[in-house]
Amino acid sequence: MKHNLILRVIAKFLIPIIVLFALYVQFHGDYSPGGGFQAGVIFSAAFILYAIVFGLDTAERVVPPRVLQILASIGVLIYAGTGFVTLFLGGNFLDYNVLAEQPVAGQHLGILIIELGVGITVSSVMLLIFFTFAGRNRP
Amino acid sequence: MIEQQLSLLLVAVPLLAAPVASILPNGRLPWLLALVVSWLCLAMAIWQFIIVLDGHIISYELGGWSPPWGIEYRIDAVNAFVALIVAGIAAVTMPYALRSVEQEIPKKQSSLFYATLLLFLVGLLGIAQTGDVFNLFVFLEISSLSSYVLIGMGRQRRALTAAYQYLIMGTIGATFLLIGIGLLYAETGSLNMVDLHARLENALDNRTVHTAFAFIVIGIGLKLAMFPLHQWLPNAYTYAPSVVTVFLAATATKVAVYVMLRMMFTVFSFSGFVRGTPADEMFLILGTAGIIAASIYAIYQRDAKRLLAFSSVAQVGYMVLGIGFGTALGLTATVVHIFNHALMKGALFMALGAIVYRIGSSQIDKFDGLGRQMPWTFGAIFIGGLSLIGIPGTAGFISKWYLVLAALEQQSWFITATILLGSLLAVVYVWKLVEVLFFRETSKNSKIKEAPLSLLIPMWLLVLANIYFGIDTRLTINAAKAAVQLLGVAP
Amino acid sequence: MMEFILGHYNYWIVIFLMMLGFYTVISRGNMVKKIVGLNIFQVSVFLLYISIGNVSGGTTPIIAEGFTRYSNPLPHVLILTAIVVGVATTALGLALVVRIKEAYGTIEEDEIHDQDQSL
């Protein structure tokens, strides 16, 4: 599909918009519907589109699978790490109230960080699943 | 501070370790991490067990949300005992894993293997700790998904079909459980076990609750391999890597039995609700049928791992019988058998794993005379087998004894006879192994050495535990009695 | 009677999908079709949860002026978790099918069974 001009132009036009939308869903998640799961899937959809149009090898040069694997772990670590931070601040596991001076501010901060971790893990796991399936039996 | 957070740390520490293990370089480092974490977990589980043994109940509110709205970890003697079994088996299995995994799993997968093993541990410990039914479903799926992966890592290609079959059956079971939980939530608006119990007292004749009950029993029945829902189990145990078989056989079905106990006694009340349904008779019928049928299947197996897998199905039958009686004695038998069966199957599968380590197969006809070349491994199989039969002086005797007492108390002679017949059939299949291992001629040019020490020491720890808990029953019986009281059955 | 049937339409849809999926899992020998059936089966349960979370006349559960009735968000959150579990199950199942295809050259259960027996 590398020679298909229309697809390439449209994909280049669409990918930034998809990524932007993903970021909106990600960081607006504490005020409106949205959050890490949805944003992660939308974010990875942009890269999957890129991989379909420009080829798997090009896409893997942009995000190598090893990096994705590390990112997936880092996302979980952000989540669990926040839990441990709240423990050390004297609250229960994932008790966001202790994260800032005001409980509500703490909840905002907590949800934002947690969803960031979720988003990173979901998007990198989605991409990993895609790359693993698509890259099987590659010549 | 640690003491307050103990019940959570027991789940959170392996959860934090799993992603770390997955990005460590392949080799011995991930194993070391898993080893340290499993020992830490054992220490925490022992600590927690000591706290709750005197009747104290730990209630931990996740995220500071008070129950019944938030997720609550509610630890009493039942949870703590199950968590102790899981953590104990994990702590014994990890040292064993090193050599066995190095041989059976390609080196480039070793960090992912240990990460998955840690996730499996997270799932099982989570099931044991949580007091929220939906959280229980999530942890059940964490442990199940990681066990599908672990089974699929077996060396033969049949491991793949075994894992696939288990995935289909396991997911159906989990989805049934999900339907049941959903219906309960629709009816009561609560997911907290204790709260559910209180709200269900007024809903005994409600048809939605009865439907939910049926779905939950079948769903968990699939997970615990209750006869005749056991079809996934023999293949899964046979083709999984040795370490995974040890861990799976010693913990997974036991934890499912615990979930069944929780549902029957803590969520629904046994005397008030379950007695009014055909469930208790069903447990008795399926339990007896399972003991007889699975034991007979076991006798005809040609693969030693498969033989023991069928024996596991039969042993689950004993535990289900105890639930079916619903009396203090019956439940004591079930809870003690959860513990003892973990010990004996752990030891037996470890011994088989050592044989597989040396000869690369678990086919019985390749075992000729192996017992004289590997005396320590043979000793483990022999004593583990005695415990499986229920010879006095071994752990297996204690639980069978309580079960027979429970059956006699109910004056059900048929079930008493079945339990004894099950033991006789166990003699037959254990003897089949012993005969091949010890009394057959060794083939001439085979020179097989005893298994390495790192396999023998964990194996013999479990064997000695089998003997110790057959003589000194204070720990098991006291824990079981405390558990039975908490489940609301008067002694 | 009519009211009973129409008033519970969400349950009819759920039951229909549930049986459809379950039947596919049981009856098909093709491993990919089995996973598709399993997915339909799971999704029907998701629908069950989501539909019981709806409150008649309720809006999205975000506090705003002028709204007093909100749908119950908890079942939706629960199902978000269950969907993730479902995705993981599907991905794992399909990965196993790919490996099975490589090892056996087929994904029909009876052909795999024959190959294992002939050994």
Reported ipTM: 0.93
Q: Give me the residue from C62, C80, C98 closest to A136, CB to CB.
A: C98
Evaluate whether residue A95 is within a structural domain: yes
CA B378 to CA B440: how far, in whole Å?
Answer: 13
Q: Which of A128, A129, A133 to mutate to test the interface with C (most CBs of C within 10 A)?
A: A129
Q: Peptide bond preceding C61: is omega within 30 degrees of 0, i.e. cis? A: no
Average pLDDT, chain B: 87
Q: Report the residue from A37, A129, A133 with minimal CB separation from C84.
A: A37
- The domain of B340 spans 280-491
B172 falls within a domain:
no
B152–chain C Cβ distance below 8 A for any pair: yes
- DSSP E strands in B363-487: the ranges are none
Is some CB atom of chain B closer than 8 A to the CB atom of A65?
no
Confidence of residue B289 (pLDDT cuts 50, 70, 90): very high
- Quickly state the pLDDT bin for B123 (edges 50, 70, 90): very high
CB neighbour list of residue B378: distance below 8 Å, 6 or more residues apart: B351, B370, B371, B372, B437, B438
Per the structure, the count of domains in chain B is 1
C27-64 per-position pLDDT tens digit: 988 999 999 999 999 999 999 998 888 887 777 777 77
Q: Give the mean model confidence (pLDDT) for residues A59-68.
A: 88
With contact defined as 3+ CB pairs under 8 Å, the chains touching A are B, C
Note the pLDDT of residue B199: 86
Query: Best of A37, A128, A130 to disrupt the C interface by mutation (most C CBs within 10 Å)?
Result: A37
CA distance B284 to B117: 34
Residue A139 maps to a domain = no
Is A128 part of any domain? yes
Picking from A32, A129, A136, the nearest residue to C62 by CB comes out as A32
Residue C5 Cα, gap to closest chain B Cα (Å): 17
Domain count, chain C: 1
Residues of B in contact with C93 (CB under 8 A): 164, 167-168
Instruction: Find, in chain A, the residue whose alpha carbon is nearest to that of C102.
Output: A137
| CB spacing of B148 vs C92 below 8 angstroms | yes
Of B118, B319, B162, whose CA–CA distance to A73 is shortest? B118
Using CA coordinates, name the residue in chain B closest to C78: B134
Is residue B409 included in any domain, yes or no? yes
Residue of A nearest to B13 (CA): A80
pLDDT tops 60 at residue B302: yes
Assess whether pLDDT exceeds 70 at residue C119.
no
Whole-model pTM?
A: 0.93
Listed by number, the residues of chain A in 26-55 with a beta carbon closer than 8 Å to a beta carbon of chain C are 32-33, 37
Q: Check C91 against A129: CB less than 8 A apart.
A: yes
Q: Which domain holds residue A111?
A: 5-134
Question: In CATH, what number is assigned to the domain containing residue C14?
Answer: 1.10.287.3510
pLDDT at B490 over 60: no
d(CA B108, CA A137) in angstroms, rounded, equals 18
- Residue B457 in any domain: the answer is yes
How would DSSP label each residue in chain A? Answer: -TT-HHHHHHHHHHHHHHHHHHHHHHHTTTTSS--HHHHHHHHHHHHHHHHHHH-HHHHHHHS-HHHHHHHHHHHHHHHHHHHHHHHHTTS-TT-GGGGSSSHHHHHHHHHHHHHHHHHHHHHHHHHHHHHHHHTTT--
pLDDT tens for residues B68-82? Answer: 788 888 888 888 899
Residue in this structure with the two tokens 């098991």, named with its chain if needed = B476
User: Does A124 reside within a domain?
Assistant: yes
Residue A86 lies in a domain: yes
